[in-house]
């Protein structure tokens, strides 16, 4: 399909003739990377994140079995499927490869038709799993990331904030009097509002690293990596104003309005201890949201530590 991104393969073999043959067979359909030994293969797998690795078994220094074991141990590469390309055909060799979680075998000498079909089958599985994973991370109503996706992103950004000693901020957001809107106009228009404000939230975020997701019901959350309190307040106010100023016109031309209350919690520096746990980080932002509601709604409130 025109414009569709190709899948990528890393071919690992110490014989340059084999690399050339396999590359020639597969380069029309896939992006091809090559490595001549196991050590280089591991480095390239970490850097390039190929969709599939074709790995020779008999190589000097580090054979294919050891290379596969190392790939499976590493968090960055353990999910990449590996297909052995080998002249070894005994059941013992196949059993050993499968016990190490090899996805398949391609026997030497190569048959172009067999190579293409086996690679095609593995890539099809990879793409299907990727689609399933992507769908499981998206909120089906609003088409933005869901809570599961947020949890994974927060875990990643939290570790980075600890490692790099950078600030991190969180906005907990809740649509004001959403139940009244549902009761007055019906759930269909309530769903329309949720879909519409999700787009407003996304458009209000200007940096690629800022992350909005649906928390549940009429609640949303925005994660702001490397953002101190001043920046978080500026973004929260922009979201609040953008949400309140928009007319939401439904399919039957009903004009709806809504506002959002926002609670902020920012940490200048995250430390790896109980005082700065992810649970507390979220809870404090939620407390600030509650304060915004209590202050009359359509407000931005910052968490104030009692200490």
CB of 6 closer than 8 Å to CB of 123: no
Residues in a beta bridge with 267: 168
- Catalytic residue, chosen from 29, 94, 95, 218, is 218
Please choose, from the candidates 166, 160, 159, 132, the residue with its C-alpha nearest in 3D space to the C-alpha of residue 148: 132
Would you say how long the chain is, in residues?
Answer: 307
Strand 211-216: give its sheet, edge to edge.
211-216, 219-225, 168-175, 260-267, 300-302
Tell me the backbone φ, ψ of residue 3, rounded to 5 degrees.
85, -10
Nearest to 190 by CA among 200, 179, 201, 199: 179
Four-residue CA torsion sign, 115, 121, 126, 130: positive
Going by the DSSP 8-state scheme, the letter that residue 3 receives in this structure is T
How far apart, in whole angstroms, are the C-alpha atoms of residue 191 and residue 175?
12
- Active-site residue, 218 included: yes
- DSSP 8-state code for residue 101: T
Give the three-class secondary structure for 58.
Answer: coil
DSSP per residue, 179-233:
HHHHHHH-HHHHHHHHHHHHHHHHHH--STT-EEEEEETTEEEEEEET--HHHHH
DSSP E strands: which ranges in the chain?
8-12, 31-35, 52-56, 82-86, 104-107, 168-175, 211-216, 219-225, 248-249, 255-256, 260-267, 300-302
**Which residues are designated catalytic?**
218
């Amino acid at each position: 399909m025109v414009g569709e991104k190709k899948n990528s393969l890393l071919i690992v073999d110490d014989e340059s003739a084999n690399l050339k043959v396999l590359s020639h067979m597969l380069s029309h359909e896939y992006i091809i990377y090559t490595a001549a030994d196991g050590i280089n293969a591991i480095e390239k797998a970490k850097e390039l994140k190929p969709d599939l690795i074709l790995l020779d078994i008999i190589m000097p220094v580090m054979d294919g079995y050891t290379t596969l074991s190392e790939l499976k141990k590493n968090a960055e590469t353990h999910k990449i499927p590996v297909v052995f390309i080998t002249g070894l055909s005994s059941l013992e060799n196949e059993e050993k490869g499968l016990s190490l979680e090899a996805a398949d075998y391609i026997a030497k000498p190569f048959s172009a038709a067999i190579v293409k079909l086996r690679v095609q089958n593995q890539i099809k599985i990879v793409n299907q799993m990727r689609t399933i994973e992507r769908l499981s991370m998206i909120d089906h109503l609003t088409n933005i990331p869901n809570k599961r996706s947020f949890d994974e992103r927060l875990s990643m950004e939290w570790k980075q904030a600890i490692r790099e000693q950078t600030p991190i901020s969180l906005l907990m957001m809740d649509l004001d009097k959403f139940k009244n809107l549902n009761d007055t106009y019906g759930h269909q228009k309530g769903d329309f509002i949720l879909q519409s404000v999700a787009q407003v939230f996304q458009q209000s975020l200007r940096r690629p690293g800022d992350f909005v997701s649906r928390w549940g019901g009429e609640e949303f959350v925005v994660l702001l990596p490397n953002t101190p309190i001043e920046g978080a307040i500026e973004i929260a106010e922009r979201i609040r104003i953008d949400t309140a100023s928009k007319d939401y016109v439904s399919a039957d031309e009903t004009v709806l309005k809504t506002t959002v209350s926002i609670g902020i919690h920012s940490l200048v520096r995250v430390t790896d201890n109980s005082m700065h746990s992810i649970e507390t980080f979220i809870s404090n932002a939620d407390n600030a949201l509650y304060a915004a509601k209590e202050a009359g709604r359509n407000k931005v409130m910052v968490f104030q530590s009692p200490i």
